[in-house]
Amino acid sequence: MRHKLIELAEKPHLKASTPEFGIGDTVDVRCRIVEGEKERIQIFNGTVIARRGTGVNEAFTVRRIVANEGVERTFLIHSPNVVGVKVRRHGRVRRAKLYYLRKRIGKARKVRELRISKRETPEPELAATSA
């Protein structure tokens, strides 16, 4: 349980909408990079292996493989440098932290995909015109 005064102090610094993703998901993290006077957006894609913290301190770790070397990066969810998080695949995992992926190589480092069935729902515009 967090103290009410801390929550009040943190509230203006929280983002209005936080991205919905979980452990094992493959995500594209769009982060703002400042190089001198120039500013650009860089995409870091990989598998979410951990989430921790609450409020302003909420963070997640993304792991990817570059040139057969594992690269991990930790991002603060409410940081102004994190522009957005886009989920590419949902992973089916049974753990809260996927640190065991650090020891895996080749196909063994893959996370099974969670398939979500989408129900057939009529679009609101079509339902309104047919009524």
**Measured between alpha carbons, how far is 29 from 4 in angstroms, rounded to an integer?**
31
* Domains of the chain, first to last: 19-107 (2.30.30.790)
Task: Write out the chain's pLDDT in tens, 131 residues.
Answer: 678 998 898 888 888 888 899 999 999 999 999 999 999 999 999 999 999 998 899 999 999 999 989 999 999 999 999 999 999 999 999 999 999 999 988 888 888 888 877 665 556 665 555 55
pLDDT digit string, tens, across residues 120-131 = 555 666 555 555
DSSP 8-state secondary structure symbol assigned to residue 129: H
**DSSP 3-state helix, strand, coil percentages of the chain (rounded to 5)?**
20, 40, 40
Tell me the whole-structure pTM to 2 decimals: 0.80
DSSP 8-state secondary structure symbol assigned to residue 91: B
**Measured between alpha carbons, how far is 31 from 121 in angstroms, rounded to an integer?**
35
The DSSP bridge pattern shows strands 59-66 and 26-35 to be unpaired
